[in-house]
Amino acid sequence: MPGEYVAPRTEVEQLIADVRADVLGRDRIGVHDDFFDLGGQSLDVARVVNQIQLLTGLEPELAVFFVTPTVAGLAERVIEQFAALEEAAEDPADVET
């Protein structure tokens, strides 16, 4: 149901929801809440990206926020970035001999 609060279901969703809530000055943000519908602006996107980078070492692309403006969508992208980094680290072709 649109507008119904859905709590974060994973650690990544919780991290992103907490960062967004802090940046937007809200008590809580659900996984399906649209960042821009909650009052988020372009400068807020940069603040969220900066916090996520500080906490995870990853830097989601700014464009991701416009394509997937929800916690669930961004969490999926962050998980994909983690997986890609792990895969690259495990790829024997990347290991120098």
Higher-pLDDT residue of 4, 20: 20
More confident residue, 95 or 11: 11
pLDDT in tens, 8-47: 999 999 999 999 999 999 999 999 999 999 999 999 999 9
pTM (2 d.p.): 0.83
In 3D space, the residue among 20, 72, 10 whose CA is nearest the CA of residue 46 turns out to be 20
Q: How far is it, in rounded angstroms, from Cα 52 to Cα 47?
A: 9
Let me know: does 78 contact 60? Beta carbons within 8 Å: yes
Dihedrals phi, psi of 3, to nearest 5 degrees = 85, -10
- Residue 4: both structure tokens together: 């119904």
In the numeric block, the tokens 């669930």 are attached to 72
